[in-house]
Amino acid sequence: MARNHNRTFVIIGLGTVGSTVASDLVRYGNHVMGIDINEKSVAALSDTLSEAVIADGRDEEALREAGVDKFDVALIAIGEDLEANILCTMNVKMLGVKTVWVKAINKTHHRILTKLEPDRVILPEQEIGQHIAQKLHNPAVRDYLSLGNGMHVINFQTPDSLHGKTVNSLNLEKTYELRCLGLSRGSDFVSCDSGAVTIAEGDRLLILGRRENLRKFSDGV
């Protein structure tokens, strides 16, 4: 599979999270290498990924031989073995990969892995739980994305009470400290920079802000 001009990704640890991320990145047209110590995990994705390699993430030389240093982004998703996650994170950073994300399985692991200063430590189960809770709490929230810095983006299905109003009239910034990034109308994206756009039936607002402020807005309309 030929490389494109996008960033290149290496996924170390091909369990449920790692294999899903790797497969989707390939589906989006990216060059992806998957690495796992388990031969069966690698074999299962050998026809899907750009490259699939059996290697131990704890072994810096093995990662170097696999060419990890040539990739732009690494996701380390080894699983419950904290020591392996620590060593692999250190190895990948020493090899010079510019962007490093690490998966943690609990808050204790998250706190320890954060000390290694990767670009982001993710807690997939917690983030999925928050996502589900938000959608159950307010079905108008069609999608929910955590940006990892206390900020979130929601895809908000506009109710009847907002139809015919302009984005400016919602006073998002002044009242809720939120920002409208744009508006989805069918297959079109409409900018909200001027705030003068009028909300119509079926429109969805993309709104950026802190979770508590997003909740206040979505509960109040």
How many angstroms separate the CA atoms of 142 and 69, rounded? 38
Contacts of 52 (CB under 8 A, 6+ apart): 33, 34, 35, 42, 43, 45, 46
User: Which domain CATH number covers 163?
Assistant: 3.30.70.1450
Domain closes at, from 106, 122, 138? 122
Residues 13 and 115 in one domain: yes
Residues 98 and 17 in one domain: yes
Beta bridge partners of 51: 33
Q: In one letter, which amino acid is 76?
A: I
Q: Residue 144 sits in which domain range? A: 127-220
Residues 32 and 102 in one domain: yes
Domain-embedded: residue 1? no
Residues 115 and 206 in one domain: no
Residues 52 and 102 in one domain: yes
Residues 155 and 74 in one domain: no
Per-position b or e across 167-205, b if 16+ CB within 10 A of its CB:
beebebeeebebebebbbeeeeebebeeeebebeeebbb
How many angstroms separate the CA atoms of 142 and 155, rounded? 5
Per-residue pLDDT of the chain (221 residues; tens, 9 = 90+): 444 457 899 999 999 899 999 999 998 899 999 999 999 999 999 999 999 999 999 999 999 999 999 999 999 999 888 999 999 999 999 999 999 999 998 889 999 999 999 999 988 877 777 666 666 666 667 776 777 667 888 889 999 999 999 999 999 999 999 999 889 898 888 888 878 899 999 999 999 998 889 888 888 77
Residues 61 and 157 in one domain: no
Domain closes at, from 122, 153, 173? 122
Domain-embedded: residue 3? no
Answer for the pair 189, 183: CB distance below 8 angstroms, yes or no. Answer: yes
Dihedrals phi, psi of 144, to nearest 5 degrees: -150, 125
User: Which domain CATH number covers 102?
Assistant: 3.40.50.720
What length is written for the chain? 221
pTM: 0.66
Residues 118 and 133 in one domain: no
Helix axis angle, 107-114 relative to 82-94, nearest 10°? 30
**Helix, strand, or coil (residue 89):** helix
Residues 166 and 107 in one domain: no
